[in-house]
Structure 1
């Protein structure tokens, strides 16, 4: 129920200033409980950050969480849910949007996987390797491409060092384990520097069995194991750095479900990724900074299980080869009659080759996507308390693949269908405007309006076959048009003082919203079987106008100093309502939630007890069923001891315990295709420790 590590970025953060915490000891401790953020990273110095609504999670929260995915780590935050398809495969859902509208990246470079292709596919970025996780919403997402209009989840680590290591050496070892799945995990990292050179090495591993569910027993076929390694280095010079890193991850995870358990369905993936990036700050009096980043990866996964022939072996293969590059320039402040003008300009280009092969008939023939785009962010300081912001992006894409022709009702005849090579070209254009006004009582109000566009992704256009692991038969639509979102959002936040909060309401009208619709048909592995009784639900991509509206609230109150710490309360609320133009419901929208907790924090101790209630979701689409609400009770306590230098190389040690789903509730996730077959984990206890040298 992590309410604690929100980045309450107020006017100070928006102007690039360091976050100033409350003057009293109690207020300072409370703010640390919220943030655990050190505002020194290169990203947070840039003026472009003024355009982003960012939640940040760092420090001990990443260690307390038992999550094996970024999505599960974030799933209890206002406005964020997770697909929870499998313990090894879960993707973020932000304000009702997922897949091709939510970009996942590491150090600003895309994760370059196939998790957006299907919900049973893993994101190869493990929380064990992250020092910080950011969730970026709003205009700042235009920096990262048209496939990020719903939001960006960015994992930050030091695999490419950006500065020399204080003292020349630092190391960290962390480990943990959970009772609910008999899991064990651990990670170690080493940073060293000297003579303008900094290096980084890290490795992680996790193992987990089938997790236990309420009422006794286990959720069959939920085992997982993964491991990864990385090495990187940088040359640090006056005013910047340039560095590179290579990383490798392997994972084997099982897919739950009735048919999947019987066939022992599991996915074995491997990815090797090379990244390089650099920055040069203040090269002259007209340019404040220049940055670049390049990422190249080779991803492959094998879907394994017992086939129709009774043999346990390879059923399907998916490959993804991707390259992405970006270049950004921050121009120096320009004096205008209205005020100082600052901003960033940049370009981004990418190529993605994605395809499938195997016994299941080939869900997606090879596709090739090229994209190049330019973006700009400008901010005008109209007064000491008022800022005007504007952002824009223009992108050109070409998507090539094999288009299949299906009957209008998605049912046979014919027994076969025609396929034609096809290339589609798109030019999505997006822009946004915003006002930031400082108010009395340290509050900031913001108003943002935007018109963003997204081009269809290759699988949305060209899918034509069975996705056995997710239990669906997917039909693409080669005639899809650009999707347009017209949004307005009003926000109010206060980040200092005894009472702190962040609230927002938003409305988005989608023109030609692309979505997966359940047709009501069932299929086996080939198209001619659709309409017969089979294990696969038939889904088809379509477009309709839609309206999304919602609200989010996060708040915290310092109640009173207790002993050497602060006792406080927190609360949260979020809701999203999504309907098509005719008033019918958009499928798989997360339920309304409300929650709160009581916490106490001192310099060494942190403790919290919190409850999150999800309401019954009965605003359902065709062929959906209602999902019961639930109560998620969580408790946690941790202790950190800091050593003096004379104690040796150990700087500090943190250890703690977390209890999750303490009521042992039967929780089903409404946004999962497998909610009827898969319960979420029951009561579990996690122990963890972190050593820093």
Structure 2
């Protein structure tokens, strides 16, 4: 996963020290060669980072950055793509929140409870939806148990303290089972104040608090399992920025969610395994300002959503090309959303979808593999559109509204070749065509979005967004020297983006054009665009020392994105280069890493340049297993992590408030975990 700044374990998997189990990070590169680029972060590494959001947890990985709107509302940006093009999911089901429609909206996954977090890029994303052109961020945990604990019971607790914001976080998980049944219970809590910034002082209005709990149960049998879980999350988080701090702008968020998951291993009649996933959510959040000491709700966002997916894998089949393995499946979704407040910003809208997909892999020779996949979607969208003047300025003072019913039928496909080179190196080349339907927000939103201070105008006439990508890669995940290199080129047709018009607005369209307005007007627009870039990550074990091994790691990534007229796509992260040292053995892990982000001067319309910075992090942790009674083995990990040790003034170009908001200054985090299983 490229450079994990301050990671306690190497960025790339290794097999040279089988007697050392490095549990501070799940190996970055999967043990089997893969057609897709997959980055994985383990639970212990997530704990060490201590971030309250997936964006800040993953944001220093190669090819991954973050919006960093606030410590809680920070979404991953993958290869320069975010928002509706990045799917976030938990245990195979979408998070079903409203985080993708605004950089100020939180993803309802707390990293503290994740067993691991994967980032999937490339053809593998088609299994989860045509929306995920950028990639899929997938968190997994055991809320729906798929096995009975080894000794009938297991317990884990974890947490930490961060100096930069007086932050405290903790979580506890309990599982028990026997006689074919298993249960799971967990809970977490976070609290933090305004964080300190370089040069003294604090970033006002940046504190937060969040809580959540879940319980689940499964029936486990010889050939599989079936289970169900319920989870509830509640957050209150504040939004930094000049206008936001003046009004103590904050978001109150609630989500209740039911999920179910199961697996049945057939292993006959030509079928191998049947798997299913299901999720149903009731989500809402209020965007609140404090006026004269009284909370006033500016807008209210609601989302009720159902999603299910089923996959059937078949047994290996002999074909004239070679042995073929694969999976086919279906996916169904139903979503109802609205945004209300003083004005109706998004009249109730509905999105219904059904899809079919297939993935097949053929071992053509001992060294050469072929993969092909396809996906067909049928998406119907209903809502209320609006016609604005061509100038996007009054008069008239109000747009004309009308009912809209649109049907989209995206068709996506990919093909790839994987070849085993000498020295345990694998080479891959993949090509894919992906089509994405516009989201209801991109079609129908009309009005002020209070927290990011934007006046957003949707376009109900938008067509399918289409992307053609070719990617090549080299990977070596064994031996003393391990690496992964990926390079890609994507041609977008009808690329959807937030087009800043330069006009200012206040709370209504009638105010647009007022130079004293505090909202930036944007219109969801479509243009053809080109993206290309590369990611490099490498690690080399230098020598044995003390009881373990020390080595060096490095990373480099960049994205270049332009429209066909040569102008730049906005909010694209800059080039980044990093290097580090690490040590690991059975009990100790240590690392120090430096990540340099170059200045970003390739600017979209109305953007300002962003200075480069150096981010220096370091980490030290110790793990000890103790002998226990009744076959229960206690395991304790303690550690310390230093972040932004140079106390640099860091602004992230992809953040919509980067000119007003600095990233946290020097931080010392203490963390610990305990397990009993």
- Report the TM range for the smaller structure's normalisation: over 0.9
Identify if the C-alpha distance between structure 1 residues 33 and 690 changes in structure 2 by more than 3 Å, giving closer, same or farther: closer
Change in Cα spacing, 1:34 to 1:160, as seen in structure 2 (3 Å) is: closer
Say whether the 8 Å CA contact 1:369–1:397 is kept in structure 2.
yes
1:229-628 paired onto structure 2 within 5 Å = 229-306=213-290, 311-359=294-342, 361-532=343-514, 533-628=516-611
Match of 2:154 among 170, 173, 186: 170
Shift of 1:53: 2.0
Q: Is the 8 A contact 1:6 1:35 kept in 2?
A: no
Equivalent-residue separation in structure 2 for 1:34 and 1:255 (angstroms) = 31
Q: Contact 1:363–1:474 at 8 Å: present in 2 too? A: no
How many pairs align? 671
Looking at structure 1, the residues matched to 308 and 607 of structure 2 have their Cα atoms a distance apart, in angstroms, of 41
Q: Which digits, 9 at most, give the CA deviation of each residue in 1:70-126, with x for residues without a partner?
A: 111000000001100011111110001111100000000000000011110111110
Query: What does residue 683 of structure 1 align with?
Result: 666
Distance 2:117 2:124 in 1: 16
Listed one character per residue, the Cα deviations across residues 263-314 of structure 1 (whole Å, up to 9, x for unaligned) are 110000000000001000134241000011110000011111135x885322
Report deviation, 1:545: 0.5
CA RMSD of aligned residues (A): 1.8
CA distance in 2, matches of 1:100, 1:6: 31
Check conservation: 2:314, 2:326, Cα contact below 8 A: yes
- Point out the more displaced range, 181-190 or 281-290: 281-290
Q: Counterpart of 1:432 in 2: which secondary structure? A: strand
Q: Is the 8 A contact 1:633 1:661 kept in 2?
A: yes
Secondary structure of the 2:488 match is strand
**What whole-Å deviation, never above 9, does each CA across 1:516-552 have from its counterpart, x for those lacking one?**
0110011001001011021111111111110000000
SS state of the match for residue 579, structure 2? strand
Cα distance between partner residues in 1 of 2:293 and 2:506: 16
Cα 1:245–1:598, aligned 2, differ >3 Å: closer, same or farther? same
1:109 is aligned, of 75, 81, 93, to 93
Counterpart of 2:656 in structure 1 is 673
- 1:21 equivalenced with 2:15 (yes/no): yes
Find the aligned partners of 2:367 and 2:539 in 1 and give their Cα distance: 25
Gaps of 5+ in 1: 10-19
- Confirm or deny: 8 A CA contact 2:383 2:440 kept in the other structure: yes
The CA distance in 1 between the partners of 2:29 and 2:154, in whole Å, is: 17
Flag the structure with higher helix content.
1
Partners of 1:7 and 1:35 within 8 A in 2: no
Q: Which ranges in structure 2 are unaligned for 5 or more consecutive residues? A: none
| Distance in 1 (alpha carbons) for counterparts of 2:295 and 2:221 | 55
Q: Which has the higher contact order (CA 8 A, sep 6+)?
A: 2
SS at match of 1:365: strand
- Aligned counterpart, 1:200: 184
Pick which of 280-289 and 210-219 moved more.
280-289
Partner Cα separation in structure 2 for residue 7 and residue 616 of structure 1? 25
TM-aligned CA deviation for residue 364 of structure 1 = 1.4
Question: Tell me, what secondary structure is at the counterpart of 2:510?
Answer: helix
1:650/1:691 contact within 8 Å kept: no
Is the CA contact (8 Å cut-off) linking 1:616 and 1:628 kept in structure 2?
yes
- Asked if 2 retains the 8 angstrom alpha-carbon contact of 1:8 and 1:55, the reply is no
For residues 166 and 18 of structure 2, the distance between their equivalents in structure 1, rounded to whole angstroms, comes to: 43
Q: CA deviation at 1:622?
A: 1.3
CA distance in 2, matches of 1:173, 1:38: 27
Structure 1 residue 476: deviation in Å? 0.5
- Cα distance in 1 for partners of 2:371, 2:536 equals 24
With normalisation by structure 2, the TM-score equals 0.97
TM-fit CA distance, 1:150: 1.0
Contact 1:33–1:601 (Cα < 8 Å) also in 2: no
